[in-house]
């Protein structure tokens, strides 16, 4: 294994796995597998990139550090010469959050400083300019992410945000340096290391900027960022004849289908609105869930009764609705109850024969795949930027699409089901 990734949630893991498997146009990527948690056995020797999906974004920092260090140990034992710590392209993290502590712990374990921190993903509208994170044409804290139910982002200055989480100062490499090319970027990172900056925010506005950054860190043992930071990394291994470069394979499975949406993002709510115009949908009564009146069997029954019609169940609500429910029952209790509901529903669906499953929302996806325990997942073709087809192994494989809340085109759900069938 050449390249290892530690991802702090499951949708983010499939996002960066897709980036690595796809690689640059005309060059191809690496043979990539996504693991659900830290594996207990060694990797297949043909795997060139291993992506470990953790559910560590919103847990206690000390627990996130512990899990990430375990993942690092496994990846190093597989022979990885470079490791990426992948977090959300919208930096979903409270001031007491995990990005800084995990990044520092990994850097200390590897004995490095001057480590890139770049959440930019231009293909999904996330860019970093002068240390500030934008979502398309809006600052992060004006993009709707300030209303995130678990990790509200109220400051677009990610240098300042990250500085609240770590003890060492946060460095910055501006876009003017990035434009000068890989050598200038590498020199700036070396200077940051000499100044004892462990993590360094690096500006990126386009994919070309990310390619330059990727070339600059070819010899770095640790890189951190969103999935975009991996755009140029496979090319480094291909250039050194350590990998041949392969494209993402088209694969899928026919069979019954279901869609579960737990994200409350604006993009997911729009996708739900569009899908329910022509397909059966069921809105989850969250208060009923909290009162014990809604069980997985009700959701499963609806989805199975509407086979062949792309049925969807969702808990997605507008920010004011979400805030009212959280105020009534408690944010953590609501999140845990919905995670359990979706997890148990997914388990019942697969047991009943569902073979194509689309899941929206990072926390929801984490709960679902943890419950299904499907093992290593193969990476297929891209559905929309950042969302690939995932296929489990075995005699009865399950095809999955794990969508971060803000990802995907308006018609994502119907399109995803087609792609999961290999069409």
* pLDDT at 318 exceeding the cut of 80: no
Say if 251 falls within a structural domain.
no
Same domain, 151 and 208: yes
Say if 247 falls within a structural domain.
no
% of the chain at pLDDT higher than 90: 73
Same domain, 285 and 164: no
CB contact at 8 A, 173 and 200? yes
Same domain, 19 and 62: yes
Predicted confidence at residue 272, as pLDDT, reads 95
Mean pLDDT of 277-288: 95
Q: Can you point out the beta strands (E) in 54-192?
A: 82-86, 115-118, 126-129, 132-135, 138-139, 171-173
Same domain, 271 and 355: yes
Q: How confident is the model at residue 273 (pLDDT cuts 50, 70, 90)?
A: very high
Say if 248 falls within a structural domain.
no
Closest by CA to 122, choosing from 201, 7, 14, 210, is: 210
Same domain, 163 and 132: yes
Closest by CA to 36, choosing from 4, 13, 65, 59, is: 13
Same domain, 163 and 67: yes
Phi, psi of 30 (to 5 degrees): -110, 155
Average pLDDT along the chain: 92
Mean pLDDT of 308-334: 88
* pLDDT at 189 exceeding the cut of 90: yes
Say if 245 falls within a structural domain.
no
**CA 358 from centroid of its chain's CA atoms:** 15
Enter the DSSP assignment of 28.
Answer: B
Residue 114's domain is classified under what CATH number? Answer: 3.40.50.10840
Predicted confidence at residue 5, as pLDDT, reads 98
Predicted confidence (pLDDT) per residue in 17-52, tens digit: 999 999 998 899 999 999 999 999 999 999 999 999
* pLDDT at 249 exceeding the cut of 80: no
Say if 246 falls within a structural domain.
no
Predicted confidence (pLDDT) per residue in 108-159, tens digit: 999 999 999 999 999 889 999 999 999 899 997 887 767 666 667 778 899 9
Q: C-alpha distances in angstroms, 372 versus 17, 351, 392, 421?
A: 20, 10, 10, 19
Residue 332's domain is classified under what CATH number? Answer: 3.40.980.20
Both tokens of residue 421?
A: 């069938």
Same domain, 384 and 304: yes
**Counted domains in the chain:** 2
Same domain, 223 and 323: no
Give 47's Cβ-side CA count (13 Å radius): 24
Predicted confidence at residue 11, as pLDDT, reads 85
**Which domain range does residue 178 map to?**
3-239
CB contact at 8 A, 125 and 139? no
Q: How confident is the model at residue 6 (pLDDT cuts 50, 70, 90)?
A: very high
Say if 252 falls within a structural domain.
no
Closest by CA to 57, choosing from 383, 405, 301, 415, is: 405
Same domain, 25 and 132: yes
Contacts of 166 (CB under 8 A, 6+ apart): 100, 101, 103, 104, 198, 199
Same domain, 127 and 45: yes
Same domain, 178 and 301: no
């Amino acid at each position: 294994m050449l390249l290892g990734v530690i991802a702090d949630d499951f949708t983010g893991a499939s996002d960066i796995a897709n980036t690595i498997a796809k690689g640059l146009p005309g060059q191809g990527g690496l043979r990539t597998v996504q693991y659900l948690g830290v594996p207990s056995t060694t990797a297949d020797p043909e795997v060139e990139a291993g992506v470990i999906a953790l559910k560590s974004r919103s847990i206690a920092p000390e627990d996130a550090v512990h899990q990430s260090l375990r993942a690092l140990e496994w990846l190093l034992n597989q022979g990885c010469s470079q490791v990426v710590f992948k977090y959300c392209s919208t930096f979903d993290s409270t001031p007491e959050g995990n990005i800084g502590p995990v990044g520092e712990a990994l850097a200390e374990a590897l004995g490095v400083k001057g480590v890139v921190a770049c959440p930019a993903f231009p293909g999904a509208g996330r860019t970093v300019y002068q240390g500030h994170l934008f979502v398309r044409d809006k600052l992060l804290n004006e993009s709707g992410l300030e209303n995130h139910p678990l990790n509200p982002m109220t400051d677009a200055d990610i240098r300042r945000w990250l500085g609240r989480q770590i003890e060492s100062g946060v460095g910055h490499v501006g876009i003017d340096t990035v434009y000068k090319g890989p050598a200038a970027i590498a020199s700036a990172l070396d200077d940051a290391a000499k100044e004892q900056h462990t993590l360094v925010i690096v500006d990126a506005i386009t994919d070309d900027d990310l390619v330059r950054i990727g070339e600059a860190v070819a010899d770095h043992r640790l890189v951190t960022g969103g999935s975009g930071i991996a755009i140029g990394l496979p090319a480094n291994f291909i250039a050194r004849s350590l990998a041949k470069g392969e494209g993402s394979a088209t694969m899928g499975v026919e069979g019954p289908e279901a869609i579960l949406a737990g994200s409350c993002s604006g993009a997911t709510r729009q996708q739900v609105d569009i899908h329910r115009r022509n397909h059966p949908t069921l809105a989850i009564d969250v208060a009923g869930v909290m009162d014990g009146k809604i069980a997985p069997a009700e959701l499963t029954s609806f989805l199975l009764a509407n086979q062949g019609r792309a049925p969807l169940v969702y808990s997605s609500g507008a920010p004011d609705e979400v805030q009212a429910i959280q105020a009534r029952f408690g944010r953590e209790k609501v999140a845990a109850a919905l995670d359990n509901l979706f997890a148990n529903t997914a388990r019942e669906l697969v047991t009943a024969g569902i073979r194509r499953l689309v899941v929206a929302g990072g926390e929801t996806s984490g709960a679902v795949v943890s419950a299904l325990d499907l093992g290593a997942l193969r990476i297929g073709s891209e559905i929309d930027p950042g969302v690939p087809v995932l296929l489990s192994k075995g005699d009865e494989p399950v095809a999955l699409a794990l969508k971060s809340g803000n990802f995907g085109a308006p018609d994502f759900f119907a399109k995803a089901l087609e792609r999961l069938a290999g069409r």
